[in-house]
Amino acid sequence: MDQLNAWFTQLLAGNAIFTANTLGFYWNGLVTTVQLVFLCLLLGIVLAVPLAIGRGSKRPWIKWPIYAYTYVFRGTPLLIQLYLVYYGVVFFNGIQDTIFWEVFKDAFYPALIAFTLNTAAYTTEIFRGAIKNTAKGEIEAARAYGMSKGLMMRRIILPSAFRRALPAYGNEVIFMLHASAVASVVTIMDLTGAAYYVYARFYAPFPAFIFVALIYLCLTFSIMFVFRQMEKRLLAHLRPRGA
Amino acid sequence: MIDLQGYGPRLLEGAMVTLELALLSLVLAVVLGLLTASAKLSRNRAIHAIGTLYTTLIRGVPDLVLMMLLFYGGQIGINMLTDQLYDAFDIDIFINVDAFIAGVITIGLIFGAYMGETFRGAFQSVEEGQMEAARAYGMSPWLAFRRVRFPLMMRHALPGIGNNWMVLLKTTALVSIIGLTDMVRVAAEATKATHEPFLFMLPVAGIYLLIASLSEWGFAKLSKRYSTGFGEASEWTN
């Protein structure tokens, strides 16, 4: 650790902006951003799978509320949703005296709720499209085996739908990573928040923002790489022969 | 007029700013997108590389970061440039970056990259036979582009343009962060002053939904227009 520190100090010698201190800010921002995005995507999937199944239901009282939810959350800016949850919680009369305040006084949780609701809406529509495009033959085959509806959903429709949803879902992951930058608006020190702090402290927009843009670029490329590998493995059976 | 504790008129002004910003950025994005698509389809390696670099960089970085970079960096960059001009040529000018224009340029620049991808795919799906036919009729290259390639391309590009427009519309909300008084900023200020988030945020969300729904309808009409001559064919074959 000491060696690493010494090496760092030497590397950063003569650099006024990128000191160990500000790099620490960027590192903490990176951790916050990754945590926020990972958690909201995870919760988003958990919400989206039942919603996507319900969205294809024949019963109007299941189908239409889900449609209204995805329409509203996909039709309004994430920033508005974030403001609604954040200020809705902060300005909720009397919340400061309840046990919930311990959780909600940190802006992280309101942001997580807003992001989760947002990504769940997009993911629902992605999954719903994939479920709808299940090949008829697969369903007929499952029925011929005498599978119940639940078993067919679990063993046949969902696994093949997840695979087909993969490319679109990869885009959603990248979209969410980029959208998470608005978290900095409600006092969260994510990557963008850290960059803004460095900009304001040194009045140096170019180093502060170009550095953070490069970090986001690396994250984006990593996500793209992971999804491309997954697609290669999971969609191998869909590739044209000889390719 | 709905008063909303006196914030109603300002909210409406903000809505106009949002709409103007979105429409002007859309125009810039379409122009940039067409340029980018031609750059990416160009046989010239350098031009192709510039087009690819532009779309990759823009699409890999969050809108908000680009916006902050161009907005906060733009003024300093221009000041540095004018300082150099002053030192070198004794020309003394001062250019103040207007927040609205900066917003239009930033959003146009961001969505130019997305539009570029849309247009590139659309241009590629125009059958070459159509252009050969146009040439056989003796059309000049410009006339052939205007009458044949562009309308045929638009049929493929419209769904993508529609999607980009919806995302662009929502992205305009970010300008409230860098200090432009659009409807989101008015609503945020009103919320902080009155502690009533739902009273202001919900109408703003409603306006976004209204614009989105209207655009959806408009794009459906446009797509019908640009599909003229294709709908019937598919009806026959089916």
A168 in contact with chain B, both atoms CB, cutoff 8 A: no
Cα–Cα distances (Å) from A97 to A87, A108, B224, in that order, read 17, 19, 58
Domain boundaries, chain A: 28-234
For A193, the closest chain B residue by CA position comes to B65
Q: What is the pLDDT of residues A26-61, one digit of tens each?
A: 999 999 999 999 999 999 999 999 999 999 888 999
| Superfamily (CATH) of domain B19-180 | MetI-like (1.10.3720.10)
Say which residues have a Cβ less than 8 Å from residue B116's Cβ, sequence separation at least 6: B32, B33, B34, B35, B36, B37, B39, B40, B51, B54, B55
Residue A9, pLDDT > 80, answer no
Tell me the pLDDT tens digit for each residue of B18-77.
999 999 999 999 999 999 999 988 888 999 999 999 999 998 999 999 999 988 888 788
Looking at per-residue pLDDT, the higher value among A101 and B183 belongs to B183
Q: Which residues of B touch A79 (CB under 8 A)?
A: 173-174, 176-177, 184
**Which chain B residues touch A72 with a CB distance below 8 Å?**
205, 209
Contact of A75 with chain B, judged by CB distance below 8 Å, is answered with yes
Residue of A nearest to B178 (CA): A185
Tokens of A162: 């997840």
Interface test with A, best of B53, B163, B201 (most A CBs within 10 A): B201
- pLDDT class of A191 with cuts at 50, 70, 90: very high
pLDDT at B198: 86
Indicate the pLDDT class of residue B9, thresholds 50, 70 and 90: confident
Mean pLDDT of the region B212-228: 89
Structure tokens at A7: 């090496």
Q: What value does the CA radius of gyration of chain B take, rounded to a whole number of Å?
A: 22
Look up the CATH architecture of domain A28-234: Orthogonal Bundle (1.10)
Average pLDDT over residues A86-101: 76
Residues A129, A135, A136: CA angle, nearest 5 degrees: 115
How many other CB atoms sit within 10 Å of the CB of residue A233?
A: 10
**pLDDT class of A14 with cuts at 50, 70, 90:** low
Q: What pLDDT is recorded for position B70?
A: 87
- pLDDT (tens digit, 9 = 90+) per residue, B135-184? 999 999 899 988 888 888 888 899 899 999 999 999 999 999 888 888 99
Q: In percent, how much of chain B has pLDDT > 90?
A: 42
> What amino acid is encoded at B73 in this protein?
G
Indicate yes or no: CB of B61 within 8 angstroms of CB of A178.
yes
CA distance A60 to A67: 10
Q: Would you list the domain boundaries of chain B?
A: 19-180
Q: Which residue has better confidence, B72 or B91? A: B72
CA-to-CA separations, A75 to A80, A198, B101, B187, B207, in angstroms, rounded: 11, 33, 25, 18, 10
Closest CA to A70 of A80, A55, A88: A55
Is the pLDDT at B235 greater than 70, yes or no? no
3-state helix, strand, coil in chain B (%, to 5): 85, 0, 15
Most confident of A9-18, A156-165, B194-203: A156-165
B201 and A206 within 8 Å at the Cβ level: the answer is no
pLDDT of residue B236: 44
Burial of B214 (0-12, 13-18, 19+ CB in 10 A): exposed
User: What three-state secondary structure class fits A135?
Assistant: coil
Over residues A123-171, the pLDDT tens digits come to: 999 999 999 988 899 999 999 999 998 899 999 999 999 998 998 999 9
Q: How does DSSP classify residue B145? A: I
Q: Which of A73-77, B208-212, B222-226 has the lowest mean pLDDT?
A: B222-226
Cβ neighbours of B171 in A, within 8 Å: 77
Q: Which pTM value belongs to this model?
A: 0.87
How high does pLDDT run on average in chain A? 88
- Please give the ipTM for the structure prediction: 0.86
**Interchain proximity B208–A83, CB inside 8 Å:** no
Mutate to test the interface with A, among B69, B167, B182, B214 (most CBs of A within 10 A): B69
pLDDT of residue B98: 80
Is 60 exceeded by the pLDDT of residue B237?
no
Sign of the CA dihedral running B187, B192, B196, B197 = positive
pLDDT band at A235 (very low <50, low <70, confident <90, very high): confident
